[in-house]
Amino acid sequence: MQASKKINDQLNIAHENKIKIQEIYEKQEEERNLKRKEARTLFEQGYELFQNYKRLSVVKNHQYMEDLMLFDNSIKSFDSDEKVYEWKGFALYNLKKYQDSIECYDKALSINPNNDNVQGNKGLSLNKLNKYQEAIECYDKALSINSSNDTVWGNKGSSLKKLNKHQEAIECYDKALSINPNNYTVWSNKGLSLNELHKYQEAIECYDKVLSINPKYHSAFINKGFALNQLKQYQDAIICYKKAIISTDPLKLRLLGDSLLESGLKDQAKQSYLAALRQGSSEQKYIEEQLQKL
C-alpha cells in the first residue's frame, strides 16, 4: 500500500509540474508577444521619422539620433527577434547608411540564417557599396532558400549587369519575369543589358513591355529613344525623348540633341545641347564638338 501511494504521489507531482511548466511556457509566450508588439510599435515610430528625414533637405543631428534611439529601444525590448534587425536594416538602407544596414542584417542572419528576404536585402546594401560579387553571393544564398523570389532574381541580374556580365544578367531577368511578368523594372533592366549587347530591337520590345505596364515610367522612353537612335530611326527617337520629362536632365537633353541633329533639325538640336550645358552636363567637350557641326 505504501509503495502504491508513493507511486501515486509521484505521478500527481509530475502532473502538477507538467501543468506548471505549461503555465510558465504560456506566460513566456504571452510576454514574448507583448514585447514583439512593443518592438513593432517602436519600429513604426522610428520608421516614420526616417521617412520624414528623407523628405527634409536639412535635418538636425539630434533628430537623427532620436530615430536611432527608437530602433535601439525596440532591439532592447526584443533582442532575439530577427525582424527588429531586419526593419532597422531596411530603414538604414533607405537613409543610405549601407554599412550600418549590413551590420543589422548580419545580426538578423545570426538569429535566423534562413531568412531569404534578409539575405536579399543585404545583397542590395552590398550592391550600393559597389561590392557586386559579394552581393551576388548573398542573392545566391537567398535563392537557395527560396528560388521563387523574383525580386532577388532581378537584383542579382542588376549586380551582374554592373560587372558587364550582360548575358548572365539577362538570364536572371528572364527567371524573374517567368515568376512575375509584370515587374516593369526588370523589363527595363533587361532592355539596358540588351542595349549593351547592341541588340537594340530586342531592347525596344522590352521598353514597350515596360510602358504597357507603367505608361508613366519615363526612363523607358529615354532608353527606347536611345535604341531607336542607334537603329538610325531618328524621328521615332525624338518622339520618345519628347514623351519623357527631360527638361532638367543634361544626359537626356544631349541624347535628344543627337537625334535632332541626325534628323537635320539643327536649330532644335542647338537648343537641346545648350540646355544640357546650362544644366551642368559633364560632356562639355562632346557637346562643343557637336555644336561645331551646326
Encode pLDDT of 210-240 as tens digits.
999 998 888 899 899 999 999 999 999 988 8
Give the other-Cβ count within 10 Å of 76's Cβ: 12
| Angle at 236 (CA atoms; ends 231, 237), nearest 5 degrees | 65
Q: Please give the Cα distance from 42 to 213 (Å, whole number).
A: 37
Q: State the Rg of the chain over Cα.
A: 28
209: cell is 513591355
Query: Which stretches in the chain have pLDDT values below 50?
Result: 56-61, 64
Chain centre to alpha carbon of residue 37: 27
Q: Please give the Cα distance from 203 to 187 (Å, whole number).
A: 9
pLDDT at 19 (0 to 100):
60
Q: Please give the Cα distance from 195 to 201 (Å, whole number).
A: 9
Q: Please give the Cα distance from 75 to 104 (Å, whole number).
A: 11
251: cell is 544626359
pLDDT in tens, 44-54: 665 565 556 55
